[in-house]
Structures are given as structure tokens and as C-alpha cells.
């Protein structure tokens, strides 16, 4: 019998010059002009090292013991046991669970899919054949195991309803497509930082990852934050993403290898022909490797086959890397190359990082001689500069000081309908993930339906050593 249990229940870097349409007042002032506000966030109690416990509001498990879900107030915690089930059966069990606990998922996902489609295909009209062709090509490139998981999920959630069209009903093809949003439709914009040794109070590594994601109309994706634990053979991986998704946007395995995608734009459009998905390659690396170096090198070795340039943040408590995955187009025209960057790698001319025992990643390659998306690009240059100053000035960090550093900016920095400040704490920040390698504990600030807040709550979601 299915069991459902519901108990009662500052830095500021201002961009000036010609983007500001209002001329400065130089005459008729009786007193000096002072700022009307600032971009530093001081409200709220200082953070502690501990995370906040989320309220459990329900539980689900199926008869076969394949799928278990804990329903918390701000996220779902899902466990799929593939040691006792085929990939298809695991996907089907997950889909049946979703139908039982969150039948409104279809209404959340279909509008989101078409928001992403319109970003990728601006002049598509009503013919979605190009989208479907791209999706099928990438889906067919996936490992059979991943295909079977998704097909089982589709059968349980979508039944026999097919086609890509915005009709309010989630189809098989639309559910397949949302598994590959970064690979098939549009990139993500993120940042990340790792600190260790002389930069942390314990000497052990702290990893911080900011996921910046399209939140969807009415912030729909903020209602389906999900930790998905997949037990399969010798290793358990945990994807930190959204309900119903099997790809890895951010993830960690029970050896402590943490991986997260941070896309890096280039002059080349997304090329999906005869390519494959880096989001599922990240998942494969988490399933195969017990250390950061091998997982990162796997991504670099396969970079030419991916659809879009990106960075992959890879840490394991002992080492920290950025896999700079330049795709085939950059290699062919000589403007970029896949490489593995660590804290000792020489950086591009004009780029400096001034703190030992730390590694910062933004949406650009930084290695000497690689494709340059830093020069003249305020989004990347300003954020990297801020991280550099924060880490240098911050001294020795514990978890509380890391949280205070990462949230020291207010979110709303729009004036005259344009952003006049490039922030680290941005208005599309979806999840801020902190991995404390001293304890193995993971804390996440989940953006809620109200949108990004200046002083978010960091939820204690568990310990990766226990996710086995």
C-alpha cells in the first residue's frame, strides 16, 4: 500500500557613464548631494555556522521500496533505489510518486518550457518541429540508462500524450525536453568559490555555489526545489535541482565530489547536431569517480562533444578545479581550448587573484590563452573583482562569515529600468549551496515564491556521508 503521511503541522561596484540617462545637477544646490540609499544589505540577524531545520510536512513511499519522498516546507527530498529496480521502473516509480504528491507539476513545467523555448527560438512561430528535432537528437545521444529513467517518468506523468505545443498539458516530448534545458535551450549564469587551508577556520574546504536560473513566471520553479538521491551500485549521487529532473545542474556523491555547471558564452551559437549533454556528463562523472581531479578531467576530455561552452566547478575537500570546457567550434577556430584550471594556473593578462588557498569561478574562462569573456564584460569582470576583494579582505572564514559575505548586497539594484550595479547576490539567484567539508554538512538557501531576498535562510539539508 502506498503510504502518504501528513502530520499537523558590500561592496558596491557602480557602473557609470553613458548608460545613465539623467544628467547630473551641477548648479543651484544649497548643500552637497548625498546618496539616497546604498547597495549593502545590513538587515537581519548575523548568520551562525548552523543551518535552519526545515519543517517536514509529509512523506511518501511506494510498495516496492523504489521511491521515497520527504516533503519539506521549501523542498522535496527524493530517494530512488535503483539497486532493486531497472532504470525504467525507477523513473516510472518517481513519476507515479509525483502524480500522487504534486499533481500540479505539469502546470508548473509546461509554461516554463515555453519560456525557455522562446528564448532559444525567437522567430519560431507555431511550428515547434525544430525544437523537437533538437531534443530528439540530444536525447538519443544519452546513455541508455538515462533514457530509460526519463521514459519511465514520462509514461507515469504524461501517459500517451505527445507533441510540443503550449496547450496546458505536459507531453512526453516536453518532459523529455526539460531534462536538457541548459544543453538544448539556454545557458545558466552562476558563480562559485572554494576556500581552504589558510582561508578557513578549520583548514578544511568550504565550497559555495550560486545557481542563477530562470525562475519562471510567478517564480514557478521555486516551488519544486528538490534533492534527488539516486542509489545505483557502489555509489550514491545527489542531484540538487528540481522535481522531475534527472540531469545534474549541481550534485554531490557520497565520496564528497561536488560538481556544478556554470555556462560561459562565446561568439558561437549553441550547436546541438551530433553533440551530447554536459548536464548528464556531469552526472556520469559523479557516478564514476571518487575524486575531483578525475571527475574534472573527464569533463575536459569530453568538452568538444558538448553543445555550449561552460565551466564545471569540481571539489572534493582536498582539491578544487574549474573544468573550462571549450566546445569544438572554439577549438576549430583557434580561439579557445578545453583545460583544467586550479589555484596555481596562470590567468589571462589583466586578471589577478590575490588570495592563496582559494578558487573563484564566474561565467567565463580565466586560464591564460583561453577564450576571453572578461574584457569589456561587466557581469563577469565585476563579480570576479568583488570576489577577489571579499576573499582578500575577509581574513579567515567560517560558515557564518561565508554566509555574511555572500549576502552582503541588496538584490534590487535597478534604476531607470536598467541594472546600475553588477552584484554577486542577484535577482535570479535560485539556490546558494554551501558544502562544509569539515563536517560533510550541506546547507542551501532556496529562493521561495516571493523571489530573491536580501537575507535568505540557509536550510540544513543533510550530510553527504549519510546519503548512501
In order of their start, the domains of the chain are 56-182 (1.10.439), 187-222+257-466 (3.60.60.10)
Least confident piece of the model among 63-72, 250-259, 359-368, 406-415: 406-415
So what's the pLDDT on residue 12? 34
- Asked if residue 23 has pLDDT above 60, the reply is no
Digit-coded pLDDT (tens) for 376-399: 889 999 999 999 999 999 999 999
Which of 42-46, 102-106, 181-185, 423-427 has the least mean pLDDT?
Answer: 42-46
pLDDT at res. 30: 53
DSSP code at position 399: H
Q: How many CA atoms lie within 13 Å of 129's alpha carbon, on the beta-carbon side?
A: 1
Q: Which helix (H) or strand (E) holds 145?
A: helix 144-158
Are residues 143 and 81 in contact, defined by beta-carbon separation less than 8 angstroms? no
- Give the pLDDT band (50/70/90) at residue 7: very low
Give the C-alpha separation, 269 to 278, whole Å. Answer: 16
The vertex-353 CA angle with 351 and 355, nearest 5°, equals: 170
Taking the model in full, what pTM does it have?
Answer: 0.91
Strands ordered across the beta sheet of 206-212: 358-361, 191-195, 206-212, 429-436, 441-446, 459-463
The pLDDT of residue 416:
72
Give the SS3 label for residue 293. Answer: helix
C-beta of residue 394 within 8 angstroms of C-beta of residue 405: yes
Question: How is residue 422 written as a grid cell?
Answer: 553588477
Where do we find the cell 573550462? 324
Average of per-residue pLDDT across 303-320: 97
pLDDT confidence of 413, banded at 50, 70, 90?
A: confident
Model confidence at 43, pLDDT cuts 50, 70, 90, reads low
Does residue 138 register a pLDDT over 70? yes
Average model confidence (pLDDT) across the chain: 90
Only one residue has cell 548528464, namely 280
Task: Place 189 in a pLDDT band, splitting at 50, 70 and 90.
Answer: confident
User: pLDDT per residue over 205-223, tens digit each?
Assistant: 999 999 999 898 889 999 9
pLDDT at 123: 82
Amino acid at each position: 500500500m502506498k503510504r502518504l503521511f501528513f502530520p499537523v503541522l558590500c561592496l558596491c561596484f557602480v557602473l557609470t557613464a553613458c548608460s545613465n540617462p539623467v544628467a547630473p545637477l551641477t548648479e543651484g544646490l544649497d548643500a552637497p548631494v548625498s546618496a539616497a540609499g546604498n547597495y549593502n544589505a545590513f538587515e537581519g540577524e548575523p548568520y551562525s555556522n548552523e543551518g535552519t531545520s526545515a519543517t517536514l510536512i509529509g512523506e511518501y513511499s511506494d510498495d516496492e521500496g523504489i521511491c521515497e519522498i520527504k516533503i519539506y516546507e521549501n523542498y522535496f527530498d527524493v530517494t530512488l533505489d535503483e539497486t532493486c529496480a531497472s532504470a525504467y521502473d525507477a523513473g516510472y516509480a518517481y513519476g507515479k510518486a509525483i502524480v500522487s504528491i504534486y499533481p500540479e507539476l505539469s502546470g508548473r513545467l509546461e509554461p516554463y518550457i515555453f519560456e525557455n523555448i522562446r528564448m532559444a527560438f525567437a522567430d519560431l512561430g507555431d511550428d515547434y518541429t525544430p525544437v523537437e528535432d533538437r531534443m530528439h537528437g540530444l536525447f538519443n545521444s544519452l546513455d541508455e540508462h538515462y533514457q530509460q529513467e526519463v521514459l519511465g517518468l514520462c509514461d507515469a506523468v504524461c501517459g500517451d500524450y505527445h507533441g510540443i505545443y503550449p496547450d496546458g498539458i505536459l507531453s512526453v516530448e516536453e518532459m523529455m525536453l526539460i531534462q536538457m534545458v541548459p544543453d538544448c535551450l539556454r545557458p545558466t549564469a552562476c558563480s562559485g568559490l572554494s576556500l581552504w587551508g589558510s582561508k578557513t577556520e578549520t583548514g578544511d574546504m568550504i565550497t559555495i555555489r550560486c545557481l542563477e536560473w530562470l525562475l519562471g513566471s510567478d517564480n514557478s520553479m521555486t516551488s519544486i526545489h528538490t534533492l534527488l538521491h539516486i542509489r545505483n551500485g557502489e555509489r550514491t549521487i545527489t542531484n540538487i535541482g528540481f522535481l522531475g529532473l534527472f540531469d545534474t545542474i549541481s550534485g554531490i556523491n557520497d565520496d564528497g565530489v561536488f560538481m556544478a555547471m556554470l555556462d560561459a558564452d562565446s561568439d558561437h551559437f549553441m550547436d546541438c547536431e551530433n553533440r551530447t549533454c554536459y548536464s548528464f556528463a556531469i552526472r556520469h562523472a559523479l557516478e564514476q569517480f571518487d575524486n575531483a581531479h578525475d571527475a574534472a578531467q573527464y569533463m575536459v576530455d569530453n568538452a568538444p562533444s558538448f553543445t555550449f561552452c561552460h565551466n564545471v566547478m569540481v571539489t572534493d575537500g582536498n582539491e578544487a578545479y574549474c573544468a573550462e570546457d571549450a566546445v569544438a567550434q572554439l577549438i576549430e577556430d583557434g580561439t579557445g581550448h578545453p583545460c583544467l584550471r586550479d589555484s596555481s594556473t596562470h590567468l589571462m593578462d589583466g586578471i589577478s587573484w590575490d588570495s592563496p588557498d582559494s578558487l573563484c569561478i564566474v561565467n567565463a574562462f580565466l586560464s591564460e590563452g583561453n577564450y576571453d569573456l572578461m574584457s569589456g564584460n561587466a557581469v563577469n569582470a565585476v563579480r570576479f573583482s568583488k570576489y577577489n576583494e571579499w576573499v582578500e579582505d575577509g581574513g579567515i572564514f567560517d560558515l557564518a562569515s561565508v554566509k555574511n559575505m555572500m549576502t552582503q548586497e541588496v538584490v534590487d539594484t535597478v534604476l531607470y529600468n536598467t541594472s546600475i550595479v553588477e552584484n554577486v547576490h542577484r535577482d535570479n539567484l535560485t539556490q546558494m549551496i554551501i558544502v562544509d567539508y569539515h563536517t560533510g554538512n550541506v546547507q542551501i538557501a532556496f529562493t521561495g515564491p516571493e523571489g530573491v531576498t536580501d537575507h535568505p535562510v540557509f536550510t540544513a539539508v543533510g550530510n553527504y556521508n549519510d546519503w548512501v
